Structures are given as structure tokens and as C-alpha cells.
Amino acid sequence: MKELFPRKHVYGFISSLLLSIIALSLYYFDLTFQLSMSILLITAFFQAAIQLIVFMHAGETEDKKSIYITIYYGVFIALVTIFGTLLALIWGYY
């Protein structure tokens, strides 16, 4: 039974639960908006990294490079789309 629950996965699960609890606890603390957002950003990206590396085995084959380039490219496009859109339609619009 024990071998069905490898340590790597259990630790990964516990740490993602912890990160979620940290994020959720922001609801009960009265931090500044900037600080809360920074914590959220950190917890979210850490959790994503745990999923990607621990659970999704992104780096286990010879295609590691292609896979990471695809993911980075996707994240780059997503961030450019989000911040570019906000720049054009909200922040830079007056």
C-alpha cells in the first residue's frame, strides 16, 4: 500500500495544500492590496511549478527542451496579452 503513495507526490500535494491555505488566509488578514497580490502571485506560480515538475513529469524525456520552450512561449504570450491589453485599454487610456 505504501508504495502507491510515493514521497515525492505526497510532499508535492502537501506543499500545494499549504500554498493554497496561505492564499486563502489572506482573506482573514488585513494586508495592503499590493502585499496580498504579491503573495498571491508567488503562491500561484509556485503551485503551477509544482504541478508542472512533480506531477506532470515535464522534464523526464528527451523532449524536455521542446516542452519547456512551448510552456515558456505560452506563458510569455499570455502575459503579453494580459498586460498589453491592460496597458492599451485601462492604464494608458485617458
- Write down the least CB distance from residue 14 to other proteins, Å: 9
Helix H or strand E encompassing 59:
none
- What would the DSSP string read from start to end of 3-25? GGS-HHHHHHHHHHHHHHHHHHH
In the numeric block, the cell 497580490 is attached to 37
Query: Does residue 18 touch other proteins according to CB under 8 A?
Result: no
Residues 32-71 that bind other proteins (CB under 8 A): 33, 36-37, 40-41, 43-44, 47-48, 51-52, 54-58, 61, 63, 66-67, 70-71
Q: Under rule CB under 8 A, how many of the chain's residues touch other proteins?
A: 56
